[in-house]
Amino acid sequence: MSYQLEDVRPMFELRKRNYIVTGGAQGIGFAVTRAICEMGGNVAVMDIQAQPVDPEFNRLSEKFGVKTLYIQTDVTKEQDLNAGFAKALETLGSIDGLVPAAGIAIDKPFIEQTWEEFTRIQEINVRGTFFITQLATKQMLKQGTGGSIVLIASQSAHIGLPGYRMAAYNASKGGVLMLSKALAVELAPHNIRVNTISPGFVDSEMTKKVRDMKSQREGEQMWMAPPMQRLSTQNDLTGAVVYLLSDAARFTTAADIPITGGLHVGTIDGLISYETK
Ligand SMILES: NC(=O)c1ccc[n+]([C@@H]2O[C@H](COP(=O)([O-])OP(=O)(O)OC[C@H]3O[C@@H](n4cnc5c(N)ncnc54)[C@H](O)[C@@H]3O)[C@@H](O)[C@H]2O)c1
């Protein structure tokens, strides 16, 4: 062997690196923001909401000795996205990684989903992800430093579940998953890695809204369906994102990490029976 074995712990460090997280005002985006800060990275959050929902955001900088900034941005608006990115870059100075977590979902029978609902989902989940990734990539290419991009796909990009009426959302996450593969191949020569995580049902405002649209029985059946028999939390996701952003994953690109409690391969009974309407 002509190389030395390295310690593993330092590979996970994100110190002195700069990241952008969209949708970081709350939920998975905020959990990822906090995790990056804990690992020493600076983070600019871009989110449509006027301010972070989680008050802990304002304490992250002092707590972890990192730089944070919050930029109100609508990822569906070209000017807004460009201006938000420029502001993030001005403060951070360079970009090492990106986690576009802004996303929406609706749970409604396929035949009732409207043009407006479909379009809004694609605009945020797919087009917003596409163009913030393009901005970050252009900057990484300019820097010549490489980088790591972690897109948020979903179990909905892989499987259809009975009683899970999210056709427009499934289509959007299928788009995100394929986007990551296309970019991983195109950008690999520049040492820009592109990977995804595919969460299952995560406890968040998004699933709360979807849960509100379902009967309690349906909701409970669904959350208990994974072989590990629980709803996941944001804490189940952050380690995977840190790993993919870090040097520990330096040869990993075009990978998807399913974090579903096993639901992507089967259910606890091997069968779920839901009301279909
Ligand atoms: N919750 C789940 O079960 C689950 C499962 C798989 C994947 N995901 C994905 O994880 C990501 C985060 O979801 P979450 O569960 O944390 O939801 P969430 O609703 O808690 O957070 C979404 C964030 O995106 C922001 N956002 C929405 N529209 C925006 C826009 N136009 N511009 C900028 N920001 C906008 C919201 O303000 C919010 O802060 C989404 O991409 C979602 O599809 C969620």
What is the mean pLDDT of the segment spanning 68-87? Answer: 98
pLDDT tens column, 219-243: 667 778 899 999 999 999 999 999 9
Distance 101 CA to ligand 1 centre (A): 6
Please report, for the domain that includes residue 143, its CATH number.
Answer: 3.40.50.720
Q: Is 165 helix (H, G, I), strand (E, B) or coil?
A: coil
What was the pLDDT predicted at 219? 67
pLDDT, tens digit (0-9, with 9 covering 90-100), for 101-130: 999 999 899 999 999 999 999 999 999 999
Q: Report if residue 237 sits inside a domain.
A: yes
Other CB atoms within 10 Å distance of the CB of residue 11: 13
Whether 212 has a pLDDT exceeding 90, the answer reads no
What average pLDDT does the structure give for the chain?
93
256-272: average pLDDT: 83
Mean pLDDT of 171-191: 98
Asked whether residue 263 is domain-assigned, the answer is no
Within-domain flag for 8: no
Whether residue 16 is predicted with pLDDT greater than 90 in this model: the reply is: yes
Q: Is the CB of 99 under 6 A from ligand 1?
A: no
Statement: residue 274 has pLDDT above 70: no
Share of the chain above pLDDT 90, in %: 81
Evaluate if residue 25 carries a pLDDT over 50: yes
- Ligand 1 centroid to Cα of residue 168, in Å, is 15
Question: Which of 238, 258, 254, 253 lies closest to 41, judged by CA?
Answer: 238
pLDDT score recorded for residue 204? 80
Q: Residue 272: inside a domain, yes or no?
A: no
Which band of pLDDT confidence, cut at 50, 70 and 90, is reported for residue 218?
Answer: low
Q: CA-to-CA distance for 236 and 198, rounded, in angstroms?
A: 12
Buried b (16+ CB within 10 A) or exposed e, 24-48: bbbbbbbbbbbbbbebebbbbbbbb
pLDDT of residue 160: 87
Domain-embedded: residue 224: yes
Q: Number of structural domains, the chain?
A: 1
Lowest mean pLDDT among 144-153, 209-218, 255-264: 209-218
Nearest-CA residue for atom 23 of ligand 1:
23
The residue whose CB lies within 8 Å of the most ligand 1 atoms, and thus the one to mutate among 166, 176, 202, is 202
Whether 250 shows a pLDDT value over 70: the answer reads yes
154 is catalytic: yes
Query: Is residue 154 in some structural domain?
Result: yes
- 209 tagged catalytic: no
Q: Tell how far the Cα of 27 is from the centroid of ligand 1, in angstroms.
A: 7
**Residue 74: CB within 6 Å of ligand 1?**
yes
205, 26 contact by CB (below 8 A): yes
Residue 266 lies in a domain: no
- If you average pLDDT over residues 262-267, what whole number do you get? 88
Whether 86 is covered by a domain: the verdict is yes
Q: Is the pLDDT of residue 151 over 90?
A: yes
User: What pLDDT does 276 receive?
Assistant: 43
Range of the domain at 207: 16-257
Q: Residue ranges of the alpha helices (H) in the chain?
A: 27-38, 57-64, 78-92, 115-121, 129-143, 167-187, 205-213, 216-223, 235-245
